[in-house]
Amino acid sequence: MATTRILEWIGRLYIGLLLAFLYLPIIIMALMSFNASPFYQLPFEWTTEWYASLWQNDQLISATWNSLEIAIITTVISVVLGSAASLALYRYDFPGKKFLQALLFPPIAIPWLITGTAMLIFFFGVGIGRGLFAILLGHVALALPYVIVVVSARLQTFAPELEEAARSLGANQWQVTRRVTLPWIMPGVIAGGLFAFAVSFDQFVVSYFLSTPGQTTLPVEIYAAIRKGFTPEINAVSTIIIVVSMALMLLTARFFKFGGEK
Amino acid sequence: MAGQVAIGSRSGLRSALPLLLPAYLWLTVAIFLPLSAMVFFSFMTELPLSGKAWAFTLDNYTAFFSQGLYLTLLLASLRLGLEVTLWCIVIGYPAAYVLAKVLKGRSREAIFLLVILPFWSNGLVRIFSWAMVLREGGILDTALNAVLPFKINIDLMYSYPAVIIGLVHSYVPYMVLTCYLTLQAIDDSLIEAGRSLGASRLQMLKRVIIPLSMPGLVAGAALIFVPVVGSFMEPRILGGRTGTFYGTVIEDQFVAVFNWPLGAALSFILLAVVLAILALAAPVLRRAA
């Protein structure tokens, strides 16, 4: 089957080209963050000046802390609430359950532009206003459906007989949950948490509409900086973000198989 | 699957409620109430804040239909969504096929991870990195001029193609992911059977592989089309003055012009269009599930 072999090599080559397309701009950005010219001129001259001046940029630093804080709080809240909801959807049958499950999809499917502007209007209308608290409210709502979907997927592999066995051996509901169910779904909970962190940490659109000067997150600050004009500090901070996000993703992949069964 | 514990549905609800309530309360406050509020505000003349007088009106919607501008921009955004989706299919589907049917074992796992990895990096940052590549005197320009013997000027920045390139780059991993999942589920023996019965490669593709992977294609298309129609940051950064789309007009209403009721009406029209499109895609997706 010579043709098959040739076709397979064309396929591999094609994947290589796709990967080049996907990584080219990212690699260039990372390289430019170490280039001395502030206008990205070549030849390349090595410097860490932009990383150093990043530390002097108080606005970027405080926005970074805000982003991290919000992402961590979002992760904790959405993991706790989401896992509880997944357990309830798994264990119990009740009227309207299908409807509740269907309700998880609008937050994922509706463009963030619409969700973000709607939140802005509503939070303003009820007096919550804009700022970090509003951003947190929004991020948890965006992350929750992802957590519930991921944890529920893990629960599908759980054998309910295990809970029954534990119960018949005299464990109460809380003991069953803590000793039997939770350990089993832990990989799903961790994967859901990493999803939640990524959704929050990378979130731009919703944060953008809900932020005020001074109470803002890193992506919003970057957007403002890009629109004011390029500065190589953005490259430096972007490179850091990309490295962090990708590391997180690799961690997620460890806990949650995306590729399906081998 | 469910209901192993509580058989009676009423007692099921009573046990489930304390676990469900916090999550759904949060979703209600931060998603469902805001969406309802947006619909409500879109029928107002002014925001009822700080004692301003307001009244109910249909003006925000008649503005959409009477001024050709908004309709033109919505059509431009739909076209942008369609083009980006098509490019993602053209680029992503073959890649998904190679991943699912050609590569095996660890190399498949590693490359799959590599393909979806960029999509976990910040979207804004990726779009910005394209700006560096595409502008005049940028990387593409410099690199091509270093290789080619004659002088050419490449300045794709602030153009429609730049917006397309940036968006396709951002969204193509979705298409690879969804198509890969359905292609992988096709049994290899099915393909072998078809081949041994004399079907050509092209026939197999047309009669077996594409129909069976249709749910993945449709899911990917929906996942790409919907956010692209509502995109505003990518056209702003890469499109410059040519980057005015429906999404950027909505953004303007909220952050520059401060005509929130009009912005709400425009958002709601977009939501209706998006939901209609998702409803069209739903039967195909349900058949898959």
Domains and CATH numbers, chain A: 57-255 (1.10.3720.10)
Q: How many CB atoms are closer than 10 A to CB B142?
A: 17
Nearest one of A126, A27, A259 to B96, comparing CA atoms: A259
A196 Cβ neighbours under 8 A, 6+ residues apart: A74, A75, A78, A79, A82, A143, A144, A146, A147
Contact assessment for residue A118 and residue B253, using Cβ atoms and an 8 Å cutoff: no
Range name among A11-25, B31-45, B101-115 with the lowest pLDDT average: B101-115
B143 domain residue, yes or no: yes
Range name among A42-51, A116-125, B186-195 with the lowest pLDDT average: A42-51
Residue A24, min C-alpha distance to chain B (Å): 9
At A261, the pLDDT band (50, 70, 90 cuts) reads: very low
pLDDT, chain A, mean: 86
* Higher pLDDT, residue A150 or B122: A150
pLDDT at residue A169 tops 80? yes
pLDDT at residue B6 tops 60? no
**Residue B256 touches partner A, C-beta closer than 8 Å:** no
* CATH value at residue B160: 1.10.3720.10
> pLDDT (tens digit, 9 = 90+) per residue, B164-184?
999 999 999 989 988 998 898
Work out the burial of residue A75: count CB atoms within 10 Å of its CB; fewer than 13 is exposed, 13-18 middle, 19 or more buried. Answer: buried
A258: Cα separation from own chain's centroid: 15
Distances in Å between the alpha carbon of B216 and those of A163, B38, B141, B281?
Answer: 35, 32, 37, 11
Residues 184-223 of chain B whose Cβ lies under 8 A from any Cβ of chain A: 184-185, 222
pLDDT at B2: 42
B93 domain residue, yes or no: yes
pLDDT at B243: 86
Compute and round to an integer the Cα radius of gyration of chain A.
Answer: 23
Q: How many CB pairs under 8 A join A and B?
A: 287
pLDDT at residue B154 tops 80? no
Contact assessment for residue B54 and residue B43, using Cβ atoms and an 8 Å cutoff: no
B170 domain residue, yes or no: yes
Structural domain including B244 reads 67-288
B239 domain residue, yes or no: yes
Residues 258-287 of chain B whose Cβ lies under 8 A from any Cβ of chain A: 260, 263-264, 267, 270-271, 274, 278
pLDDT at residue A100 tops 60? yes
At B1, the pLDDT band (50, 70, 90 cuts) reads: very low
Range name among A192-206, B4-18, B76-90, B200-214 with the lowest pLDDT average: B4-18
φ, ψ dihedrals at B104, nearest 5°? -130, 160
Q: Which residue has tokens 């806990």? A: A255
pLDDT at residue B259 tops 60? yes
CA angle centred on B177, ends B172 and B181, rounded to 5°: 150
Residue A89, min C-alpha distance to chain B (Å): 7
CA angle centred on A255, ends A254 and A259, rounded to 5°: 70
**Residue B43 touches partner A, C-beta closer than 8 Å:** no
In DSSP terms, A212 is beta-bridged to A215
pLDDT, chain B, mean: 85
Residue A108, min C-alpha distance to chain B (Å): 9
A178 Cβ neighbours under 8 A, 6+ residues apart: none
Q: Helix, strand, or coil here: B44?
A: strand
* Higher pLDDT, residue A235 or A65: A65
H helix count then E strand count, chain B: 14, 0
> pLDDT (tens digit, 9 = 90+) per residue, A112-127?
999 999 999 999 888 8
Q: How far apart are CA B75 and CA B62, in angstroms?
A: 17
pLDDT at A47: 84
Averaged pLDDT for residues A191-208: 89
pLDDT at residue A219 tops 50? yes
ipTM of the complex: 0.86
pLDDT at B47: 73
Q: Which residue has tokens 């937050």? A: A107
Contacts B24 to A, Cβ<8 Å: 85, 100, 103
Q: How far apart are CA A178 and CA A180, in angstroms?
A: 6
Averaged pLDDT for residues A216-222: 91
Averaged pLDDT for residues B123-145: 78
B25 domain residue, yes or no: no
CA torsion angle for A8, A9, A11, A16 (degrees, to 10)? 150
Distances in Å between the alpha carbon of B285 and those of A113, A186, B210, B218, B234?
Answer: 25, 30, 15, 7, 29
Partner residue facing A144 (CB), from B26, B48, B251: B26
A180: its two tokens: 């039997």
B42 domain residue, yes or no: no
B224 domain residue, yes or no: yes
Q: Number of folded domains in chain B?
A: 1
* Best-predicted range by mean pLDDT (A25-29, B144-148, B245-249): B245-249
Q: How far apart are CA A218 and CA A207, in angstroms?
A: 9
pLDDT at residue A109 tops 60? yes
Contacts B2 to A, Cβ<8 Å: 89-93, 97
Q: Which residue has tokens 């410059």? A: B240
pLDDT at residue B151 tops 80? no
φ, ψ dihedrals at A35, nearest 5°? -95, 140
At B5, the pLDDT band (50, 70, 90 cuts) reads: very low
